[in-house]
Amino acid sequence: MDIAILIFLSSGLFLGWSLGANDAANVFGTAVGSRMIRFTTAAIICSVFIILGAVFSGAGAAHGLGELGNLNALPGAFVAAFCAALTVYWMTVARLPVSTTHAVVGAIIGWNWFSGSITDFSSLTTIMSTWIASPVLAAIFSALLYKVMVWVLTKARLHLLRLDSYTRIGLIIAGAFGSYTLGANNIGNVMGVFVSSSPFSDFTVAGMTFTSVDQLFLVGAVAIAVGVFTYSKGVMMMVGDGLMPLSPVAAWVVVIAQSIVLFLFSSISLEHFLAGQGLPTIPLIPVSSSQAVVGAVIGIGLLHGGKGIRWGALGSIASGWVTTPIISAVLCFVSLFILQNVFNQTVYHEVRYELSAPVMVHLEQEGLPVAELAPLKDRELIGGLRFRDRLREVAQLPRDQEEKVIAAAEIHTIRIDADKFPKLDRAYLSPDQVKALEQLTGKEFQHRWQLYDALSSLTPDWKKLESNKVNRPWNKNLSQQLGYIYGYFEVSEETPPKQ
């Protein structure tokens, strides 16, 4: 087992610990803060279901991290994960519920900034819009749900002890489900960048095979669970009591409202249904459960005229949301500079761009005006920002065409290496997709689009459909699968040439 990989893996474990210490408050904070469930009981249930969610449902989420940036060197990935973890840890010490995802996004932007890579501002803008939409939606849902529950309970006239028992059971079930989804959705943030370099090997016990990815996720989930037990109580009390005192029923409503918001922004089935009815769809992007919980608490508070809301605490939490990605980005940039210049580590690999003859033919087939690009033909440029600036000097292209040219010109050497198939995450791909990959064993490609053309010619499972609302979920999932394959079979500078 490579010691260097284990050292770099420690940053992922630190991030997992920080996530457990902060984000567990989102699923059990209101239950613990309202004194309905003891902290120890909540920590045990939360830890068990986080581990189950990470191991059994974490595969899909683990491959979605690279949309904003491609962290192409392990020391750089180590710094990004460490800086995100350190930022979340500082916020946890301050007892502020923040989003681990936002800290990771901030760290990736810091890496892009340092390496001269292009940040996808379209995706970034969409993510930032949810920082407003998710707490507002949660506030609306919690206010409506709370009014309905009060009306139902008034009509039912349950005995106080029976109502207390039902509420306690409801909080445990909702918290367990929330913990499962927390583990499934966030293990990608914790261990996603280490999937391709997992130090573990597959093994079989009693007929069950535990892949290297399963073991990697288990280790990450245990780190999250340790964070829940050792340091989450302070943030739980802030969410459950520090922002506004909650009744047991209000605590249950908050958890349900948060779950509805997370469902809306993550359900492929719902997007299919809305698209099939010709209705506007909700973007499938990661949203902050911390923001949804706080929004739900505020919704109930506003229903009572704002009485009981501690506006000072709300201001502190809001400032934490704004500063988390900024601190993480700046910290990552400074840390990368130190690691590269003081410790002489390679924190990123330079990315080359070239409008070679095959690329020009490909762009012409895509319908792009290649004549305007002639001044850049066969000229190799290093760095995404530098290539984009030169491109803008020679051609004024619409944003979508500019993105196509940059994507096509990027040199991303990929070799379908037979030695890598044993650790391939087959559960993430269909059998036909794996079969098509195996047919390309030994072949090498200079650009991502070349591998896509080869794969899509072998099976429809690798072929994108016409771009429209109905086909959007398929194309989005396929893009994430392709992103995983591009990264997994990438020929890095450390990869020895085949003899």
Contact 230, 67 (CB under 8 A): no
pLDDT digits (tens, 9 = 90+) for 99-125: 787 888 899 899 989 988 888 777 778
Q: What pLDDT was estimated at residue 496? A: 47
Contact 227, 20 (CB under 8 A): yes
Q: Which residue is it, tokens 């288990």?
A: 218
pLDDT digits (tens, 9 = 90+) for 134-166: 889 899 999 999 999 999 988 888 888 888 888
Cα angle for residues 255, 260, 264 (degrees, 5° grid): 150
pLDDT digits (tens, 9 = 90+) for 384-412: 899 999 999 998 899 889 989 999 999 99
Instruction: State how far the Cα of 488 lies from the Cα of 62, in Å rounded to an integer.
Output: 13
Q: How many CB atoms sit inside 10 A of residue 207's CB?
A: 5
Cα distances (Å, whole numbers) of residue 481 to 182, 249, 284, 429: 22, 42, 16, 7
Q: Among 429, 446, 454, which residue's Cα sits nearest to residue 491?
A: 446
Of 201-215, 295-309, 364-378, which gets the smallest average pLDDT?
Answer: 201-215
Specify the pTM. Answer: 0.79
Contacting residues for 52 by C-beta, under 8 A, at least 6 apart: 180, 183
pLDDT digits (tens, 9 = 90+) for 178-208: 888 778 777 777 777 676 666 677 777 777 7
Q: What pLDDT was estimated at residue 499? A: 43
If you average pLDDT over residues 285-298, what whole number do you get? 80
Helices 289-303 and 3-23 pack at an angle, to 10 degrees, of 10
Residue 498 pLDDT more than 60? Answer: no
Q: How many CB atoms sit inside 10 A of residue 109's CB?
A: 23
The string of DSSP letters for 233-283 reads: HHHHHIIIIIS----HHHHHHHHHHHHHHHHHTT-HHHHHHHHHTTPPPPP
Give the helix ranges, DSSP H, for 117-247.
121-156, 160-191, 212-231, 233-237
Q: Which range scores top for mean pLDDT: 231-235, 259-263, 324-328? A: 324-328
pLDDT digits (tens, 9 = 90+) for 439-466: 999 999 999 999 999 999 999 999 999 8
378 in helix, strand or coil? coil
Cα angle for residues 217, 347, 323 (degrees, 5° grid): 75
Residue 1 pLDDT more than 60? Answer: no
pLDDT digits (tens, 9 = 90+) for 237-280: 777 677 788 888 888 888 888 878 877 776 666 666 776 676 76
Q: What pLDDT was estimated at residue 335? A: 95
The β-bridge partners of 353 are: 381, 410
Q: How many CB atoms sit inside 10 A of residue 386's CB?
A: 13
Q: Which residue is it, tokens 């020391």?
A: 75
